[in-house]
Amino acid sequence: MTLPDPTLRLRVDTGALADNWRSLDRLSGNARAGAAVKADAYGLGMATTAPVLRAAGCQDFFVAHWSEALAACAHVPSSMVSVLHGPMSSADAVFARELGVKPVINSLVQATHWIEVGGGLCDLMVDTGINRLGVPMSDLADPLLAKLSIDVLLSHLASADEDSPMNAVQQERWSAARKQMAHRRASLANSAGITLGSAYHGDLTRPGIALYGGVPCAALNGVIRQVAYPEAAILQVRDLRPGDHVGYNATFTATSHMRIGVLSIGYADGYLRAWSGKGVMHNGYRHLPVLGRVSMDMTVIDLTAAPDLREGDWLEVCYDLPDAAAKSGLSQYELLTGLGRRFQR
């Protein structure tokens, strides 16, 4: 059996993805850019993105879960993969050794799990103020940590996308940690952190969102290209008379004769109800607004400006991330990672 043609697809501009990585690598100065590819490369697909990033020159790939490590290793050498959540048990640590990926050690307990199974090269996350994962500065002198072979000594900024005094505080703590712990390479900056200057670069940067078209801070305006283009097909075209309503709760009412299109995309696909009455679809140069409520599997649009469109025709969802975030009230991160499984990637 062959699967019928899809009515929902996510086009990934791999040229733009490679360009974004090269731009971020250049902006990282003497440091090299790695790539955060957790959450299936922010929803764009590991299989689509990892080989492109690797070919562009990326040599360090960060995932969150152990399950994601397996997916990454299908596309890049396992020695280039780091697992941010670290080993929660000795079983996780054994898995890391068998697969050949690096665990990111986030606590003395995680260090124990890693050392007990024989250890090897790992990364160490130091908490410098975000209070999420990471060894506290006060634990750095623990003799247990001296037993680790640390490749990347990393920390993570809480407010890199803002002009916050917290950035300098975290940078100073990270610099102090670098002096205290033996390590091969040091890393602090995410996408926005790269723009804070060379003091934040160390040896390796870890962009995520900006690789995929997100613009987390003004300094990246005009540098980053859109990568993800959601596209949906028209399932049905219909004509409305004045007074006819559209969708759940009849929140749109036609004031004249008009043509509408029912698209195969809904909130189950991550096209959330925040877009009700706000979203826009493109067909070439034509902009077609969303009418009424977005429902689970369908969204209705106004075809007045495109009366030639028919069932099966494709429309591009307006999804330029900074713009889409401003319009929908969702974050650029949520806009990408929320894109569902029904998109053909």
Ligand X SMILES: *Cc1c(COP(=O)(O)O)cnc(C)c1O
Question: Which spans of this chain sit near ligand X (rule: CB under 6 A)?
Answer: 36, 38, 84, 156, 190-191, 206-210, 216
- Would you tell me how many other CB atoms lie within 10 Å of the CB of residue 235? 15
Measured CA to CA, the distance from residue 187 to residue 34 in angstroms comes to: 10
Q: Which amino acid is at 161?
A: D
Residue 303 backbone zone (phi > 0: left; psi -120 to 50: alpha; other: beta): alpha
| Nearest to ligand X of 195, 264 (CB atom) | 195
| Nearest to ligand X of 191, 299 (CB atom) | 191
340: closest CA among 280, 274, 267?
267
| Nearest to ligand X of 207, 266 (CB atom) | 207
| Nearest to ligand X of 61, 267 (CB atom) | 61
Helix (H) or strand (E) holding 229: strand 228-240
Helices (H), the chain: 14-27, 38-42, 46-56, 66-73, 90-99, 108-116, 143-146, 165-180, 191-194, 321-328, 332-337
- Contact indicator for 63, 230 with CB cutoff of 8 Å: no
Measured CA to CA, the distance from residue 226 to residue 217 in angstroms comes to: 15
Q: Which amino acid is at 17?
A: L
Q: Tokens 């003799």, residue?
A: 143
| Nearest to ligand X of 171, 264 (CB atom) | 171
Beta bridge partners of 280: 289
| Nearest to ligand X of 9, 185 (CB atom) | 185
Q: Tokens 């590991």, residue?
A: 46
In three-state secondary structure terms, 62 is strand
Measured CA to CA, the distance from residue 165 to residue 113 in angstroms comes to: 36
Q: Tell me the catalytic residues.
A: 38, 248
Minimum Å gap between C-beta 258 and ligand X is: 41
| Nearest to ligand X of 135, 262 (CB atom) | 135
Measured CA to CA, the distance from residue 104 to residue 126 in angstroms comes to: 10
Burial of 35 (0-12, 13-18, 19+ CB in 10 A): buried
Minimum Å gap between C-beta 211 and ligand X is: 8
